[in-house]
Structure 1
Amino acid sequence: MCANWDEFLRAVLARTLAAFLCSAAAVANAASTDATLSALAVQDRDGDAVALSPGFNAATTSYTASAPARVAWITIEATKSDDGAGVDYLDAAESELTDVDAVKEGFQVILEAGANTIKVKVTAEDTVHTETYTVVVTRAAPRASTDALLSNLDESNDAGMTVGTPTDSPNDDFTQAIRFQTGSNERGYNITSVKAVLANASDLDGVRVRIFGARSIGTPYISFFTLTNPVIADGTLTFTAPASATLRKNAGYFVVFDSTASGAGNDYEIRGTESDFLNSQAVGWTLSEDRHARNTDSASWTTYSAVPLIEINGDAVVQATDANLSALRMRDGNGKLVTYSPYFDSSITSYAKKVRAPIDRITIQGTANNDGGATVDYLDEDDQLLTDADSVKDGFQVDLEVGPNTINVRVTAEDGSTTRTYTMVVTREASRVSADALASNLDEHFSKRLFVGNLEPGKILRVQALGFETGGNDAGYVLNSVKILIWELSSLAGVRVRIFSSTAEGNPDSSLYTLSGTVVLPTTDQGPEESARVSTFDAPANATLEPNTRYFLVLDSKFSQLYRYYKVWGTKSDDISKVADGWSMNNYRHTGIRNSGVWTTADEVPFVDVSGYAVVPSSDATLTDLGLTWDDGGTATDIALNPTFDSSTTAYTASVANGVGQITIAGTKSDIGARVDYFDGADSALTDADGNAAGFQVNLGVGANTIKAKVAASDGETTRTYTVVVTRAAGDTTAPTATGATVNGTTLAIAFNEALAAAANLASGAFTVKKTL
């Protein structure tokens, strides 16, 4: 036994060490039972800490926290005391929560308005021991609507923007604007309201909220519609959009705040935020960095760091309710596109256009956005259906009256009840063309002002000439007046308006008629479409124009001195606003130097209106008067007719003394187109005895002299002859009683030769001997 004692001891020791080592290994490999947290933190969307109450302690498992409405989600960071433990995030019903942003560090949880229970369950490594930390986060009720197209109402209210005229800045008038971008819904969006937060506001402050379009440079450019105000007070207010307010897809717009009140102290404040976050938004909608302020006196906008607190409400347009137009076009009678103001945008429902007087009909074509399902009707200002003035022609034709013409383009959506009306007001100008115009361009487009007269050295005696050609009326034409548009004139401008004949080459030749009138100047410096007033120059009473003949209207100054000038409106248009049959104008347009005979073809012509009438062939061959006169020492003395003249009486007599050897006869025609010729008793044509004197002169013999005034009517057939027998007294052949006379003290003997007297048909008293000193 002793011999084996060492071996025995070694065996016992080996077994004891193995047992010890096994026991130590078992202890070392045992799982942890630690299910505590060493830290628990909550952060908002900005990364700022959300305070827990009470402050974190590993032994405390219940906490509360508060978050403003703008905090729509939080990040929870739970730090385990034992790395071997596990952490799960559960809701109040202990259902597992989902990390809403798995990429971001921590665990993100969406917060609803009110109390949100979040349980952080820690499971120890041994999977047996657990601990649950409960955090109740109460989120303030949001002001932003969950279905808003865009809203930042729940952002921090930390900025104020002045609108209107403050008391301490009486010369200022501030406007505030914030740009937003719509989403990509194909048919655009209906807008129902805009919310904003106001301070220091009342109805007296003239609060106005409008939607503007956006320029490409990021500034407002035109108002699309004005929203209706609620009762104005401090706080969040809702401004209602018009029923037809829609916005295009992928388009920029501005919400603009200004004041309609005048005077210092009529101001209010739009509350704003420095935050760029949105609390809710439809797909694709954004609030832009284009946030501006402007003083009304300035044309420029200033960018602000703060943005107004606003909310835009509405919905996406769907096919069934799409009552928008995608295009609205107008053309004149010649098919030329007519532009209007503002440029078409489906969001804008009111348009206007002023057209010239010649445009008496337009074609309007509205294209529905839902062209296959919506319908388009055209109505008048009373919403009564209009009738297409030419149903054969493409588009819808509307006849225009002078003045405003309201055309309502009503779109009815596919659902049959949703409608939208686009209003076009077309104002047709009143014509400046005379009712009796034979040729006129007064209603054409303004091009430039044309100079007449002597404005400066090198432009001496400038003349403007416009050719016109008469029609083929056989009886010719009577010229009544000429109208022109004068813009400016100097003192003693010497405005002169004349009608010239034409050379064979088509240049002014010689003056035929000088017209007289009064200059009327415009009241403003605008173009003739806005401000021109017509100056009328009347033609002489005898101004007639031959058929098929070219004439020139010539404008010049009757003075030659420097700075005697005037300017007339002119046009490049070849169109004629009104033209009588066969007449033409504008083919010969000249400018030149007075009396030089050198003419240059001009691009522009003066605005001109030539008025008168065609002489209508008439059967009227009567006279309205028949007068006889004789020259009594330079004085035209009337000769009485017997009976007194009457147009229905054709036979007359008259007597004159023997000393009246020549008379003037004047027959006044009832019809200007008639012709009067004079014949003797044998119906032979008389010749004017003195072509240098006015009227028609007839020599008289002693005794009866028959003069016939034959009136030929303009119809070329009807005639009437008025006969006057003028008796000239016979001479007295009786010898004079005087037999002598004394001249300078010398007595002269006077002998009367009866034979010579008889031959000369002299009578006693027919001559007088006078002493001349």
Structure 2
Amino acid sequence: MSNTPSKAAAAVATPLRRRAALGALGSISALSLLACGGGGGGGGTAATSTSTTSTTLLGGLSLSEGALSPEFTPATTSYTASVANATGAIAFSPTLADSGATVAINGTAVASGVSSGGFALNVGDNSFNIVASKGGVSTSHTVIVKRAPPTLSADASLKALSISTGSLSPAFAAATTSYAVTVANSVTSVTLAPTANGSGASIKVNDATVASGGASGALALNVGNNTLTVTVLAQDGVTSRVYTVTVVRAVATATASGDATLSALALSSGTLSPAFASGTVAYTASVANSVASVTLTPTATSADATITVNGSAVKSGGGSAGLALSVGSNVLSVVVSAQDGTHIITYTVAVTRAAAVSTDASLSALAISSGTLAPTFATATLGYTASVANSVSSVTLKPTSSASATIKVNGVATASGATSAALALSVGSNTLSVVVTAQDGSTTRTYTVIVTRAAATLSSDAALSGLTLSSGTLSPVFSASTTSYTASVINSVATVTLSPVAGNSGATIKVNSATVASGATSASLALNVGSNTLTVAVTAQDGATSKTYTVVVTRAAAVACSVIPEETAGPYPADGSNASSQTYNVLALSGIVRSDIRGTLGSSTQVGGVPLTINITLQNVNNNCAPLAGYAIYLWHCTREGAYSVYTESSVNANYLRGVQPTDANGVATFTTIFPGCYAGRMPHMHFEVYPSVAKATTASNKIKTSQLAFPTDICTAVYAAASGYTASVRNFSSISFATDNVFSDGYSLEMTSLSGSVATGYVANVTVSIAV
């Protein structure tokens, strides 16, 4: 390097050198430039680009509701989407691939990258035409948005029902469909006012249509029983419900000849509901299963009236014959005929006989969450055993019985067929009980399960499941079976800590002979300049098995820091500056502040290449080389094929191998990426810019330093020869050297990275960047 001109001299000579480089590269054909991906780093040779016109004008399209099918691609012109009936309007967000183009939706201009106004939707198909145009060229995409029809209601219930004269008995309830009303003889007609509960339902009263909430026409009443019907048909046209109102109109006079009412009605078992009243004609009652028959004792108001009970004549005040009851509902009728033979009133009593009470207190199934019941479950077998490992600290039981029985597991109610609460297990024998009580409330049966939990077995696991180093990066990446590691740190790192995690919780750990709890951080471990061997000794729970892990940490020697040279950002910075006749700016993208830069924002796809972790330590030469915390570093580089994102795709929507990271308290910013490729005319390199903060890292006008990073030739040779995808780099690398590189030819010692690792496991690069602030 003694013959290499100084940076100051190089700065004066730079225009001449760049012009010479342009002349030298002028002979490289356009085909060669395209084949190497455009070149990202070297001087002005790649600053000249060929502009082409793209017919891909629309780069993206999204909807405010629903999803495009298929997913949007510029080449696909027809899409569909479906939305619910509740969606009455939809908005579109088109993104133009060409900033000079315009876009219109159904003839309405829409700005790129923002949401349009809402477009009204009819039920069914709605067609939208998205046309992007530029300079007489246009592309058209069609979206058919299907709005679902409204859902038809199946509600055929009433919300209210009233009568113009008298009162409904019982009081109206939507679920009750039978009512009775008594009116005076002078009332010759009534009206009913029904209100539907479900929207869209239709109502008929005695087959005449009535509007919901409105009153029916006059309904004529005969003396005695009059049955009025209210039929509700739900909006779906299928579901219906019928409500009946029995209106009893009194006789014209109080003379005995026309009186068909009862003055009393008694039931031999159960209680009438509601309480008997002469004008109420409908009653209910409930009896136990043991009541197989009942009698009715009706008393006529008029001694001259005649009475039948279920068609059999009964004397007024006398009891009927026994009326057999089935399990469930039994409707008994009392027909009273007045002396005049004209007036008749029918009273009904709906008697519900309960089902037989079960005495079944058995289980039909019993399962345990861990272990196996012995013997196999059988309903008649009450005692079981099961064995579980020590690691099983609780079990659950799942008992199944008849629907009418109740179950308690260890005293806690558990539904039939459901899983019990967790039942804690001590080491040794644990008795669990399942008590089943039959429907009759007195018959019980107890099943027992004796669960034996094994004693703890002392583990012989002396492996670590995790190991982290406070500074530097372990090489290779930690694996429980790998016991030897290396790491490198800068000179300013005088101590480190280790955080080991045991594979088994019963193991003990010592770091450099000092005990450290699993998952905890060790005390600070002093580092000498050079190699330092740290040990992590793990002793298994059994006290006999052990394993020792070693970490050899190399602390760099102290060096006087010098300001890293200012270098060109190249033609593809995408930092808002004017490069290659474009002002692309990925720094303005949400999410560009990221450590892993291998993929495009919002995509799970990553570019291929040998994994590389790069640690950039930023320090200040004006403050004794102290680390600069809270600054931001923007890093970008080419793919293994030699291409740069953004400019390759002519859109910031593809932004792989670009990202921003803040520096931590030690001045370190870390990126996860790939080893860069080598394209014609340049040594392998990476570009970076330094910003005073992440908040400032949004445009090139705020940067305080631009430079590049170099890579050792032996590592480059190894990667390109052994790794897939770097075929072109082998040829390009053989034709370039640091001496002929138009950026590094005047010196690169302050830009050289230090690497450790391998092609198989990936590499870790460390570099210290000094600036003056």
Q: Tell me whether the two structures share a fold, i.e. TM-score over 0.5.
A: no
TM class by shorter-chain length? under 0.3
Q: Which has the higher strand share?
A: 1
TM-score, normalisation: structure 1: 0.20
TM-score, normalisation: structure 2: 0.20
Q: Which has the larger radius of gyration?
A: 1
